[in-house]
Amino acid sequence: MRHTNYLLKPVAIDNAKPRDKAYALTDGGGLLLEVLPSGTKTWRFKYHLNGKREKVTIGAYPAYTIKQARDRHEELRALVERGESPAKSKQATVAARKVAESRDLTVRVFARRWIDETLFYRSPAYVAQIVRWLDAYIDPAIGDMQLADVQPGDVLAIIKARADTPVTAERIRVIVQQFYNHAIRNLLVTTNPAQPLRGAIARAPVEHHRHLNEKELGAFWRKLDDQGAHVTTIAATKLLMLTMTRKSELLRSKWPEFDLDAAQWDLPAERMKMGKPHRVFLSRQAVEILRQVHELTGHGEYVFPSIFRGSVPMGDVTLNHFFKRIDFGVPDFSPHGTRGTAATLLREHGFGRDVVELLLAHSEKNATVAAYSHMELAADRKRALQYLADRVEALAADTNVIPLRAA
C-alpha cells in the first residue's frame, strides 16, 4: 500500500471557520475534514471501489485527533486495497451490534419503548388501551422472551386462544406486527413474526350493512368511550346513529348548517344523495354532543375536521377503521349499519314507515307519503329522533327503562 503524504497542520484545522455552506479540507489519500455551517468538524474518507464512489465517516474533530484519524484512514485504505467496502463493513458492524442488543431486549421492554417512541401523538386513553392489551394478552405469553427469539408459532398461540373473538385476535396480531416493524426499522430484528399470520383466524362472512338488535346496540354504545379514539371520532360515531344521516353527510357537515339553540341541522341539497335539502331535528343528547365538539372545532369551518389537517373534513377511512376496532361481539358492523339499526328500532317501536323514510332522507315513491311536506311531519320526526336517543341511552345503561313514545 502506498504511503500517504498528509497535508493538514493542526493550526490550519483549528483556524478553519464555518461558512454558509459545508466545505472540506483535504489531508491526502481521500482523507478530508468536513467543516459544517454549525462549526462541527468531521473526518471522512472518500474512495473509489468497483467503479463506484463511496464515503465513510471516521469521527468528529477534536474527539478524533489528527493522528487517530490518519491511523484509522490507513486501516480503511487497507480494506479498499483488499477490495472490501469500508462503508458496508461499518453498516454490517452496526447491524450486528443492533442484533446483539436485541438479544438482551425482552418483548415487554421493547413494546413500551415502541409506545414511547411512536405513539406520543396519540391520546392518553388510546395509549392506555394499548397497554391494557399488552398486559392482558401479549405479555403473559411472550413478554419475557427475547425480542429476537419470538417465532410466528408463539404469536399464533396467542391469537388462537382468542379465536372465538376474531376481531380481538386480529387486533392482538396487529399490535405485535406494529412493534416488530419498529424493531426492524431500528435494526434490532430482521423478521416480523406476526406478518405471515394475517388471516390466520377465520372471520365470519361479512353481512352487508349488518344491523344491530337492541342488546347488541347497548353493547356497542357502552364500548365507544373505551376505545381510546379521538373525541371527535367518538362523537361522529354517536351522531351517525342519533341523526340517521349518511357518513358523508355527517363528516362533511359545517357549523353554519347547525342551530343548536333551535336543535336543528339543515343540510343543503348539494350535499344530499337525493339532491334535496334535509332537516334533522336534533335530540337533547345530540345537541349536548355537538356543544362539546364545538368547544374543540367551533373555530373552524368543519364540525369534524381531520386531526392532521384542520382545513379538510375527517376522512371516511377514519370512521371505518374505528368501527373495525370496536370489539363488542359483532364483527363487521359498519358505519352504514347505523342507519338500518336506527330505522329498525323505530319501526319495531311503532313509528310509521313514512316518518322513518323521511328521517333516512329516502326518495319516496308512494304518492300518499310524498304528498306530506317535511314540515307537516316535523313533529313526528322530532319525537322519533328523541325517542331513538332515549332508547339508545337506556340500552347503554343496561336498564329495563323503555322511553314512552309520545302519542
* Residue 109 binned pLDDT confidence (cut-offs 50, 70, 90): confident
Residue 58 in 3-state DSSP? strand
* pLDDT at 127 exceeding the cut of 60: yes
Looking at every residue in the chain, the average pLDDT score rounds to 85
Model confidence over 161-217: pLDDT tens digits? 988 888 888 999 999 999 999 998 888 888 999 999 988 887 655 445 688 999 999
Is the CB of residue 35 less than 8 Å from the CB of residue 23? yes
Q: What is the pTM for the complete model shown?
A: 0.50
Q: In what order do the strands lie in the sheet with 52-61?
A: 23-28, 31-35, 41-49, 52-61
Question: What is the crossing angle of helices 124-133 and 107-118, to 10°?
Answer: 160
Question: What is the crossing angle of helices 337-348 and 214-224, to 10°?
Answer: 130
**pLDDT score for 98:** 54
Model confidence over 276-288: pLDDT tens digits? 899 999 999 999 9
Q: Is the model more confident about 103 or about 117?
A: 117
Pairing mode of beta strands 23-28, 31-35: antiparallel
* pLDDT at 368 exceeding the cut of 60: no
Residue keyed to cell 349499519 = 337
**pLDDT score for 328:** 86
* Residue 245 binned pLDDT confidence (cut-offs 50, 70, 90): very high
Residue keyed to cell 377465520 = 202
**pLDDT score for 396:** 92
Q: Rounded distance, CA 152 to CA 67, Å? A: 50
Q: Rounded distance, CA 163 to CA 174, Å? A: 15
Q: Rounded distance, CA 78 to CA 73, Å? A: 9
Is the CB of residue 149 less than 8 Å from the CB of residue 104? no
Model confidence over 315-348: pLDDT tens digits? 888 898 899 888 888 877 899 899 999 999 999 9
Q: Is the model more confident about 101 or about 25?
A: 25
Q: Rounded distance, CA 218 to CA 198, Å? A: 30
**pLDDT score for 207:** 47
* pLDDT at 359 exceeding the cut of 90: yes
**pLDDT score for 383:** 94
Cβ atoms within 10 Å of 101's Cβ, excluding its own: 14
E strands of 222-290, at which residues? 258-259, 264-267, 278-281
CA distances (Å), origin 208, targets 8, 329, 333, 347? 75, 17, 9, 20
Is the CB of residue 256 less than 8 Å from the CB of residue 268? no
Q: Rounded distance, CA 213 to CA 347, Å? A: 12
Q: Taking every pair of C-alpha atoms in the chain, what is the biggest distance, in angstroms?
A: 103
First-to-last CA distance in the chain? 102
Lowest mean pLDDT of 12-26, 116-130, 276-290, name the range.
116-130
% the chain with pLDDT above 70: 88
* pLDDT at 236 exceeding the cut of 90: yes
**pLDDT score for 128:** 85
For 218-225, which contacts have Cβ atoms below 8 Å and span 24 or more sequence positions?
Answer: 218/392, 218/395, 218/396, 218/397, 218/398, 219/328, 219/329, 219/330, 220/326, 220/328, 220/330, 220/333, 221/392, 221/395, 221/396, 222/328, 222/396, 222/398, 223/326, 223/327, 223/328, 224/326
Model confidence over 30-85: pLDDT tens digits? 999 999 877 788 899 999 888 888 888 888 888 788 998 898 888 888 888 888 88
Pairing mode of beta strands 23-28, 278-281: unpaired
Q: Is the model more confident about 59 or about 248?
A: 248
* pLDDT at 135 exceeding the cut of 90: yes
* pLDDT at 297 exceeding the cut of 60: yes
Q: In what order do the strands lie in the sheet with 258-259?
A: 258-259, 264-267, 278-281
Tell me, rounded to whole angstroms, the distance of Cα 342 from its chain centroid.
Answer: 28
Instruction: Name all domains of the chain by residue range, CATH numbers in brackets.
Output: 10-93 (3.30.160.390), 107-197 (1.10.150.130), 214-396 (1.10.443.10)
Burial tier of 333 (Cβ tally within 10 Å: 0-12, 13-18, 19+): buried
**pLDDT score for 407:** 43
* pLDDT at 366 exceeding the cut of 60: no
